[in-house]
Chain A
Amino acid sequence: MKTEISRQPTHVLVACEGHIDGKTAPELQATLAPLFGEASAIVLDLSKVDYMSSAGLRVLLLVHRQLVAKKGRTVLVGLSESLTETMRITGFLQFFETQPTLAAVKF
Chain B
Amino acid sequence: MGPDPLALPGTLDALDPLADFVHAAAAAAGLDKKAAGRLHLAVDEVATNTVTHAYGERGLTGQLYLSAEIAPDVLRIHLEDTGPAYDPTATPPPADLDKPLEERGVGGLGIFLARRNVDAFLYERRGDRNRVTFVVRRPGRPG
Contacts and interface: CB of A to CB of B under 8 A. Distances in A.
Interface of A: 19, 21-23, 51, 53-55, 57-58, 61, 64-65, 68, 81-82, 86, 89-92, 95
A82 B15 CA distance: 18
Given A61-B106, A89-B116, A53 B101 contact: no
Given A65-B101, A95-B100, A53 B37 contact: no
A59 to B, nearest CB: 10
A86 B41 contact: yes
B83 interface: no
Contacts of A81: 34
Interface in B49-100: 51-52, 97-100
Contact of A82 (B12, B34, B48, B106): B34
Nearest to B41: A53
Interface of B: 12-13, 15-16, 19, 34, 37-38, 40-41, 44-45, 48, 51-52, 97-102, 104, 106, 109-110, 112-113, 116
Contacts of B37: 51, 82
A90 B110 CA distance: 10
A51 B106 contact: no
28 contacts: A19-B15, A19-B19, A21-B12, A21-B15, A21-B48, A22-B44, A22-B48, A23-B12, A51-B40, A53-B48, A53-B113, A54-B45, A54-B48, A54-B113, A55-B48, A55-B110, A57-B109, A61-B104, A64-B101, A64-B102, A82-B37, A82-B38, A82-B41, A90-B97, A90-B113, A91-B98, A91-B99, A95-B100
A91 B44 contact: no
Given A86-B41, A90-B97, A54 B110 contact: yes
B43 to A, nearest CB: 10
Contacts of A51: 19, 37, 40-41
A52 to B, nearest CB: 9
A95 B101 CA distance: 7
A77 to B, nearest CB: 19
B109 A90 contact: yes
Contacts of A57: 106, 109
